[in-house]
């Protein structure tokens, strides 16, 4: 039956629609057929529900024609705008208000933002703006608000490390701490009593493995002036350590990460320090042949310039009996105050910086050394 009617309704095209329609229509048809066929008065239509009857009556009134009841398919005609709008407004009313609007001023921030996370505009009670407008017409010339702003998401935030957070962390860690040892009031004291500083880090996170490759790195720091060294040993040690020496802070820094565990790396760093120190005190026979350029600082006494200068001064003294350098040996000339000052000024230029001040110093010391009188 249903299939018959379904085919009769051409143009519907939709089997589902046809089946639904067929179901309803079939009942109607059955009713009509029975009405037509039977001579007796038909019973009250109990089988049909009230709504459908009402609907058909309404349709009758509309058309004013009892013979044909138009078939209404639900959803075929577009819904009215009013209804759509109403639905939307209802939905909007149902939406939760933004958290920052509801938040009180006594809100515990650590509960809003317990851990580090991406910026959520709805829960941050700050009037933030971020982004770029290309011209005055774009966004009415105003930099975009935080609401739905993706630019703010890109920026790393520290909302999980506010003073209340830190305070809470400290409170939580307090029970693991031991009292600070007495007599170590300043950093200088610490360095005096514990000259070797070992820096390691532990990493704690939720994951399948508790190991972290970064935790094996060990840094051992020692101040160079704390080590007992003579001039040769100091120079040799600096040559041995190379760029592990931090000139600005006078620190030796050994950073080891070659071994798999922290303990092994630590042992290795300490071994390096010991080996370098002991090696620095040894003196090999070939170390006597060292030249001026091998030193880290400029050594005027070992340069060719020294020979030239001494020769110059000696030949100056030959012509002038009043000269300070008259009848002096090379060693004696080098001991003179003027020559020492000159050497100092020259090395300053090479070691520090060739500034105008240093050059003026050099000029004065050179004039003094060459015994040139100026007014």
Partner 1 sequence: MNTSVKVVLSSLLSRRLCTRPLHRVRQIQKSFLGTSSEDGSDPTNEVARPPVHRPSFADSLRKAREDAASKKEHSAQGSSSSESSSSSDSSEEDDSLLGKREPADLFGKSAKSRITSQDMFMTEQSDPSEHAMDYEGIYYIVSQEDQTRFFPSFIDSHYRIQARTFGGLYLMIRKPALEIIDIIKKSSYNCPLPKFIVYGKRGGGKTSTISHVMHYCGKQNHMLLNIPLVNDWIRARTNTTPSTSKAGFTNIPEQAQKWISHFAALNAPLIKDMKVTKSIEWTKKEVTEAGSPLQSLIDFGLLRQKYADDVVDMLLDEVMTCATENKFKVLLVIDGLNGFYQPTNMREPLQPQRFIHAEKLCLVDSFKRILNSGNKNVVAVCTVNEELRKLNERVKFTPFYLLGKEASQELEPFVPIQVENFSDMEVKNCLDFYSQRKWIQNSAALTDEGRKQIKFLTSNNPYAVWKVAGAY
CB of 190 to partner 1, least distance (A): 42
Which CB sits closer to partner 1, 11 or 319? 319
CB of 312 to partner 1, least distance (A): 6
Angle between helices 304-319 and 337-351 (to 10 degrees): 150
What are 291's strand-pairing partners?
none
Task: Out of 38, 39, 104, 374, name the contact with partner 1 by CB under 8 A.
Answer: 374
Instruction: For residue 194, give both structure tokens.
Output: 């514990």
CB of 354 to partner 1, least distance (A): 5
CB of 336 to partner 1, least distance (A): 13
Which CB sits closer to partner 1, 251 or 349? 349
Distances (CA, A) of 348 to 32, 119, 248, 298, 337: 120, 54, 17, 8, 16
Which CB sits closer to partner 1, 153 or 311? 311
CB of 324 to partner 1, least distance (A): 13
Residue 66-105 contact track with partner 1, rule CB under 8 A, x = bound = ----------------------------------------
Stretch binding partner 1 (CB under 8 A), from 59-67, 131-139, 184-192, 343-351: 343-351
| Residue in the block written with tokens 């972290």 | 212
CB 85 within 8 A of CB 131: no
Binding of residue 354 to partner 1 (CB under 8 A): yes
Which CB sits closer to partner 1, 118 or 370? 370
- Rounded to an integer, what distance in angstroms lies between the CA atom of residue 362 and that of residue 278? 39
Count CA atoms within 13 Å of residue 137 on its CB side.
0
Distances (CA, A) of 192 to 182, 183, 220: 14, 11, 16
CB 303 within 8 A of CB 250: no
CB 279 within 8 A of CB 240: yes
Task: Out of 236, 269, 346, 348, name the contact with partner 1 by CB under 8 A.
Answer: 346
Stretch binding partner 1 (CB under 8 A), from 194-202, 228-236, 259-267, 354-362: 354-362
What are 197's strand-pairing partners?
221
Which CB sits closer to partner 1, 142 or 305? 305
Which CB sits closer to partner 1, 24 or 363? 363
- Rounded to an integer, what distance in angstroms lies between the CA atom of residue 66 and that of residue 63? 8
Distances (CA, A) of 113 to 102, 184, 222, 241: 15, 37, 41, 47
Interacting positions 243-272 with partner 1 (CB under 8 A):
none
CA dihedral sign of residues 75, 81, 83, 84:
positive
CB of 344 to partner 1, least distance (A): 14
CB of 288 to partner 1, least distance (A): 23
Residue 322-341 contact track with partner 1, rule CB under 8 A, x = bound = -x------------------
Distances (CA, A) of 271 to 154, 253, 254, 265, 267: 45, 13, 10, 10, 6
Which CB sits closer to partner 1, 196 or 349? 349
Which CB sits closer to partner 1, 189 or 351? 351
Q: Count the neighbouring beta carbons within 10 Å of the beta carbon of residue 8.
A: 11
Distances (CA, A) of 7 to 2, 20, 67, 174: 9, 13, 22, 83
Interacting positions 282-321 with partner 1 (CB under 8 A):
303-305, 308-309, 311-312, 315-320
CB of 306 to partner 1, least distance (A): 8
**Residue 153 phi, psi (nearest 5):** -70, -30
CB of 360 to partner 1, least distance (A): 7
CB of 357 to partner 1, least distance (A): 11
- The DSSP line for 2-29 is HHHHHHHSTT---HHHHHHHHHHHHHHH
The binding site for partner 1 (CB under 8 A) comprises: 303-305, 308-309, 311-312, 315-320, 323, 342, 346, 349-350, 354, 356, 359-360, 362-363, 366-367, 369-370, 372-375
């Amino acid at each position: 039956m249903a299939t018959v009617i379904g085919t009769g309704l051409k143009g519907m095209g939709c089997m589902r629609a046809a089946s639904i329609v067929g179901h309803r229509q079939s009942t109607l048809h059955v009713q009509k057929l029975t009405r037509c066929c039977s001579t007796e008065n038909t019973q009250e239509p109990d089988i049909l529900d009230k709504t459908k009857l009402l609907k058909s009556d309404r349709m009758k009134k509309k058309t004013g024609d009892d013979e044909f009841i138009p078939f209404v398919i639900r959803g075929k005609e577009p819904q009215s705008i009013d209804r759509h709008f109403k639905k939307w407004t209802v939905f909007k009313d149902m939406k939760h208000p933004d958290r920052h609007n509801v938040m009180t001023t006594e809100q515990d921030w650590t509960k809003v933002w317990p851990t580090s996370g991406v910026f959520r505009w709805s829960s941050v009670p700050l009037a933030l703006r971020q982004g770029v407008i290309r011209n005055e017409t774009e966004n009415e010339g105003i930099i975009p608000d935080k609401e739905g702003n993706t630019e703010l998401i890109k920026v790393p935030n520290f909302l999980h490390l506010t003073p209340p957070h830190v305070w809470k962390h400290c409170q939580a860690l307090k029970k693991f701490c031991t009292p600070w040892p007495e007599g170590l009031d300043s950093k200088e004291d610490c360095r005096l009593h514990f000259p070797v500083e070992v820096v390691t880090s532990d990493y704690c996170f939720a994951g399948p493995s508790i190991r972290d490759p970064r935790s094996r790195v060990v840094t051992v720091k020692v101040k160079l002036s704390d080590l007992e060294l003579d001039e040769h040993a100091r120079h040799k040690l600096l040559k041995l350590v190379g760029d592990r020496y931090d000139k600005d802070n006078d620190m030796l820094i050994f950073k080891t990460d070659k071994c798999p565990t922290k303990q092994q790396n630590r042992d290795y760093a300490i071994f390096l320090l010991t080996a370098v120190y002991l090696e620095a005190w040894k003196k090999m026979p070939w170390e006597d042949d060292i030249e001026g350029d091998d030193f880290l600082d400029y050594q005027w006494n070992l340069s060719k310039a020294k020979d030239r200068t001494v020769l110059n001064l000696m030949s100056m003294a030959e012509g002038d009996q009043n000269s300070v350098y008259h009848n002096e040996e090379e060693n004696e000339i080098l001991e003179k105050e003027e020559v020492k000052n000159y050497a100092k000024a020259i090395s300053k230029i090479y070691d520090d910086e060739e500034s105008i001040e240093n050059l003026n110093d050099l000029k004065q010391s050179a004039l003094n050394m060459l015994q040139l009188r100026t007014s």
